[in-house]
Amino acid sequence: MEYIENTDLVKKMFALSENDVKLLDHAGALPLEGALCDVFLVVLCINGKAWFRLEDKVFEMKQWDVFFCKPNTFVENAMASIDFERRIFLMSPALFESILLVNDNVLDAGFFLIENPIVGLDEKEARQLLQNFEFLRSKLSLPKTAHRKEIINLLLQLMVYEFLDCIKPKLQLHDYSYSSSKQLFRRFMELVNDNTPLHRDVKFYADRLCITSKYLSAVCHKYVNKPASEVINGCAVSHLKRMLRTTDKSVKEIAFEAGFDNLSFFGKYVRRWLGMSPREYRMQQGK
């Protein structure tokens, strides 16, 4: 665990070990063309503004906004005003899961943050978060002691739970009772995000969750108003668009990596979901 000041975010955000947490001030220079974030990332905007793209949406941050980014998220086209000042908090997924008690409130917050990655805080809430940041930084800077790890973990729990309390009134969800279907949906999304190449067959995931394909689609309808097939294809298409947009790999290479053995079928799949061929999409994005 360490605190890093005036360093490069893109280089450091990939250097976390499974037991690491890092805090950064004024980290890295913008613009940022693109980076795959494989950790939990929280950015507090203290001053100025910033703009960036997640998948197909462009977001804007302003003073006292918090940006939450889950692992395996691709951030593109990051730009900022000259006076942009921020604090950045990074935590490995393993550490996050080890210190956080996953209950239904946490799942509700997670579902909310996936759809709303930027949350506006008032100044009091933001300064409380900043105060916790500075307190944790002071502890990370101290020499190692016998219980340093336990102290840091408790402080991390404090920061996470206070942040969850800040956003709880902003949640647009009202059912906080325990629900096994929420756990099931969470596990389904983990399987979809972890499978490379991505399987596009609903039965593949239903079998691993020990449920029927029909029930899996019903659960998806409950939380995202889409059948499981659309959730899977949405993730697949997002991945393909990113590959076509941000890599120099050939269409054939991308098709193979995505699990398509037939290039003709790959072309038809892309045309069905994007309304154009892979090459046409790449040319359009280039323009």
Omega before residue 197 within 30° of 0, cis: yes
The amino acid at 151: I
Closest CA to 96 of 82, 109, 112: 109
Model confidence, pTM = 0.67
Is the predicted pLDDT of residue 2 greater than 50, yes or no?
A: no
Q: Write out pLDDT tens, residues 204-213.
A: 999 999 999 9
What's at 86, amino acid-wise?
Answer: R
Q: Residue 173 above 70 pLDDT?
A: no
pLDDT digit string (tens) for 34-71? 777 778 889 999 999 999 988 778 999 999 999 998 88
Complete domains list, the chain, with CATH: 2-170 (2.60.120.10), 180-286 (1.10.10.60)
Least confident of 87-91, 187-191, 195-199: 195-199
The structure tokens listed for 46 are: 């203290």
Write down the pLDDT at residue 243: 85
- Collapsed DSSP state (helix, strand, coil) of residue 18: coil
Residues 6+ apart with CB under 8 A from 13: 22, 35, 37, 38, 39, 41, 90
Contact 105, 73 (CB under 8 A): no
Those residues with Cβ within 8 angstroms of residue 230's Cβ, 6 or more apart along the chain or in another chain: 220
Comparing 197 with 135, which gets the higher pLDDT? 135
Q: Name the token pair of 153.
A: 């973990």
Pair of tokens at residue 77? 């086209």
87, containing H or E segment: strand 85-91
Residue 66's pLDDT is what? 93
Rounded to a whole number of angstroms, the CA Rg of the chain reads: 20
Instruction: Note the helical H segments in the chain.
Output: 9-12, 93-99, 104-115, 123-140, 148-167, 180-194, 202-209, 213-224, 228-246, 251-257, 263-274, 278-286
Q: What is the pLDDT of residues 128-161, one digit of tens each?
A: 999 999 999 888 888 888 888 788 888 888 888 8
Cα–Cα distance, 83 to 86 (Å, whole number): 10
Q: What is the pLDDT of residue 284?
A: 82
- Count CB neighbours of 164 within 10 A: 17
Q: Could you tell me if 92 and 39 are in contact, meaning their C-beta atoms sit under 8 angstroms apart?
A: yes
| CA–CA separation, 24 and 133 (whole Å) | 10
Which pLDDT belongs to residue 17? Answer: 47
CB 24 within 8 A of CB 90: yes
pLDDT of residue 216: 93
Looking at every residue in the chain, the average pLDDT score rounds to 81
Position 30 confidence tier, pLDDT thresholds 50, 70, 90: low
